Amino acid sequence: SSEQASTSTKRNLIVISNRLPLSVKRSEDGSYISSMSSGGLVTSLSGLTKTAEFRWYGWPGMSPKESVEQDEIRRSLAPHNAIPVFLDEELAQKHYNGFSNQILWPILHYQPGVTYDEGKWEAYKKVNEIFADTIAEAAQEEDLIWVHDYHLMLLPELLRERMAKKKRQACIGFSLHTPFPPSESLKVLPVAKDILKGMLSSTLVGFHTEDYRKNFSESCEYLLNARVQDSSILYKDRLVKTGHFTVGIDPDKFNETLKKDDVQARIHDLNERYKDIKVIVGVDRLDYIKGLTQKLHGFEQFLTDYPKWQGKVVLIQVAVPSREDVKEYQELETELSCLVGKINGKFSKPEYSPIIYLHRSIPFTELTALYSIADMCLLTSSRDGMNLVAFEYIACQEQRNGVLALSEFAGASVFMADGTIQFHPANIKEMSQCIHQGLTMSKEERKERYDKLAKFVHTNTSARWGQSFVAELSKRHA
C-alpha cells in the first residue's frame, strides 16, 4: 500500500529532470520571474510532493553568466526544493531544442525520417555529463536517485561511472514520460545503442505502459544482445529491473480549486454564456504529436456531416506554446492559426464562431473552470506517452459527467478503454461520428462511463505512482 511505500523509503530521494517545476525568465525590467512549468512531468512530480520529500535538480530555463544572478535564481527556487543546474546557453539550446526535441522526440513517438546531427549529439552527451558531475558531487551512497525523461538517457551510466570512482554504489531509477518505440523505429537513430546502454545502467527502468516496456526490452535484446528474463534484463553482469507504473494527477487539487468562490463565479458566467451551446474542450501543448491539425479537420467534418449542430456547438482549444525555437513547432503554429481561420470563416455567423482558439498559457483556475463547463473533451494525439489532460478533465466532471473522446494512440487509452469513446486520429470520418455520439449520449450512459473513469483517476494518482516506483527502487541495492 502507499503507506507501506512511504515508511519503507527512509532514504533521501533525489529527483533529476531537465525541466524544473518553475521555469525562470528575465522580465523587461531585468528582474527574474519564475512561472509554473507546463507538461505531464511537472504535473506528476508536483503531485508527489504532497506525500514525499525530495530535492529536485534540473535546468531552470536560463543560465546567466554572473554568479550574483545565478544566486538570485538559486534563491527563488530554494523554497520549492528545486536546485538549478546551470548550462551554457548555446549548449543548452543544442541539447534541448537540438538533440532532445528535434531528434529524440520524433523517434520516441515512432516517427521516421529524422536528420541526425553529430554536433547535437555531442551537446546531448556534454549536458548529461554536467548533470552526472553535479549529482555525483551531491549524492550519498544511501540516496535513491530518480532520473526522468528523454533529455537525460545517458545519465544513469555516466553517474554510475562517477560514483564507482568514488567507491560508491548507486541506486538509480529511470522513468520515461514518453512512449518507447519498437526496435525498428529506434534503430533509425545511429546512437540507439548508446541510449539503451545509458538507460541500462539504471537499477530500475519505468514506463507508462506495458507496450513501451516491452519495446524497450526487445530493443535491448535485438540491438545489444542483452538477455531478457521476464521483466528483468541481464546486461554485462548487471540485472536491470523494468516495469510499468501508471502515472496520474492529484485530483484533490482540482476539487479544491473548483470549490473556490472565484472559480465558481467563473463557472457560472461561462455556463450562462454557453447556455444553449454545447462546449467541447481541448487542452494541449502546441505539439505535432497532439494531432491538433487532425482535431480541427475532424471538427470541420463533424459540422459538415451534421449541419444541425452548426451554431450549437463550440470547440474551445487551448494550445499552450511549447518549444517555440524549434522549426517544426513554429510551422505547426502557422498551420493551425491558418486552419482555425479557414474553418471559422466557413461556419461563423455574426453571433457565432465554432472555434475559440487560445494560443497561450492560461491560469490554473481558468483551466479548471474550462474543464468543468465542457460537455466533452476531445484529445486526438497521434502518439502520446500518457496524456494527463484526459485525467484532469475527468477530475473536474463530477457534476456534469461529460464525455471523454480519446485517440487510441494516447497511453491513457489503454487504461481508460472502459468509459471513453475512442477513435483513430487520422480517421476524420470516425472522429466526426464520435463527436456526434458524445454530444447525443444519454445522461445514464454518461454517468455509467463517468463513474468508471473517475474511479480510475482517483485510484491512480501521481502520489501513488511515485510511491510505487520509489518503493520498488528502494527494494533494490544498485
Task: Give the footprint of ligand F6P on this chain (CB under 6 A).
Answer: 19, 39-42, 149, 177-178, 285, 322-323, 385
For the bound state, the minimum distance from the C-beta of residue 200 to ligand ADP, rounded and expressed in Å, comes to 25
For the bound state, the minimum distance from the C-beta of residue 43 to ligand F6P, rounded and expressed in Å, comes to 8
For the bound state, the minimum distance from the C-beta of residue 409 to ligand F6P, rounded and expressed in Å, comes to 14
Contacts of 477 (CB under 8 A, 6+ apart): 169, 171, 203
* Number of CB atoms found within 10 A of residue 263's CB: 18
Residue, CB closest to ligand F6P: 39
Q: Which amino acid is at 223?
A: L
For ligand F6P, the closer of residues 361 and 372 by Cβ is 361
For the bound state, the minimum distance from the C-beta of residue 216 to ligand F6P, rounded and expressed in Å, comes to 16
For ligand F6P, the closer of residues 42 and 199 by Cβ is 42
For ligand ADP, the closer of residues 204 and 286 by Cβ is 286
Provide DSSP, 271-338.
HHHTTTSEEEEEEEES-GGG-HHHHHHHHHHHHHH-GGGTTTEEEEEEEE---TTSHHHHHHHHHHHH
For the bound state, the minimum distance from the C-beta of residue 42 to ligand F6P, rounded and expressed in Å, comes to 6
Is the separation of the CB atoms in 279 and 272 below 8 Å? no
For the bound state, the minimum distance from the C-beta of residue 304 to ligand ADP, rounded and expressed in Å, comes to 29
Tell me which of ligand F6P, ligand ADP, none is bound by residue 370, counting a contact when its beta carbon lies within the kind-specific cut-off of 5 to 8 angstroms.
Answer: none
For the bound state, the minimum distance from the C-beta of residue 375 to ligand ADP, rounded and expressed in Å, comes to 19
For ligand ADP, the closer of residues 151 and 241 by Cβ is 151
For the bound state, the minimum distance from the C-beta of residue 388 to ligand F6P, rounded and expressed in Å, comes to 8
Tell me which of ligand F6P, ligand ADP, none is bound by residue 19, counting a contact when its beta carbon lies within the kind-specific cut-off of 5 to 8 angstroms.
Answer: ligand F6P
Q: Coil, strand, or helix at residue 476?
A: coil
Q: What cell was used for 333? A: 503554429
Measured CA angle at 33 (ends 29, 38), to 5 deg? 140
CB-side exposure of 272: number of CA atoms within 13 Å?
6
Tell me which of ligand F6P, ligand ADP, none is bound by residue 323, counting a contact when its beta carbon lies within the kind-specific cut-off of 5 to 8 angstroms.
Answer: ligand F6P
For ligand ADP, the closer of residues 138 and 414 by Cβ is 414
For the bound state, the minimum distance from the C-beta of residue 384 to ligand F6P, rounded and expressed in Å, comes to 8
Tell me which of ligand F6P, ligand ADP, none is bound by residue 206, counting a contact when its beta carbon lies within the kind-specific cut-off of 5 to 8 angstroms.
Answer: none
Is the separation of the CB atoms in 431 and 380 below 8 Å? yes
Residue, CB closest to ligand ADP: 40
For ligand ADP, the closer of residues 39 and 64 by Cβ is 39
Helix H segments across 170-291? 183-186, 192-200, 210-224, 251-259, 261-273
Give contact residues for ligand ADP (rule: CB under 6 A): 36, 38-40, 43, 283, 285, 320, 361-362, 367, 386-389, 392
Q: How far apart are the first and last CA of the chain?
A: 23
Is the separation of the CB atoms in 277 and 312 below 8 Å? yes
Tell me which of ligand F6P, ligand ADP, none is bound by residue 143, counting a contact when its beta carbon lies within the kind-specific cut-off of 5 to 8 angstroms.
Answer: none
For the bound state, the minimum distance from the C-beta of residue 36 to ligand ADP, rounded and expressed in Å, comes to 5
Question: What's the gap between Cα 28 and its chain centre?
Answer: 30
For ligand ADP, the closer of residues 34 and 183 by Cβ is 34
For ligand F6P, the closer of residues 263 and 388 by Cβ is 388
Is the separation of the CB atoms in 174 and 377 below 8 Å? no
Tell me which of ligand F6P, ligand ADP, none is bound by residue 13, counting a contact when its beta carbon lies within the kind-specific cut-off of 5 to 8 angstroms.
Answer: none
Tell me which of ligand ADP, ligand F6P, none is bound by residue 387, counting a contact when its beta carbon lies within the kind-specific cut-off of 5 to 8 angstroms.
Answer: ligand ADP
For ligand F6P, the closer of residues 18 and 242 by Cβ is 18
The secondary element (H helix, E strand) that includes residue 59 is strand 55-59
Measured CA angle at 382 (ends 334, 311), to 5 deg? 60
C-alpha gyration radius of the chain: 23
For ligand F6P, the closer of residues 319 and 435 by Cβ is 319
The DSSP code for 402 is -
Tell me which of ligand F6P, ligand ADP, none is bound by residue 149, counting a contact when its beta carbon lies within the kind-specific cut-off of 5 to 8 angstroms.
Answer: ligand F6P
Of the candidates 14, 31, 26, which has an alpha carbon nearest to the alpha carbon of residue 82? 14
Question: What's the gap between Cα 271 and its chain centre?
Answer: 30
Tell me which of ligand ADP, ligand F6P, none is bound by residue 394, counting a contact when its beta carbon lies within the kind-specific cut-off of 5 to 8 angstroms.
Answer: none
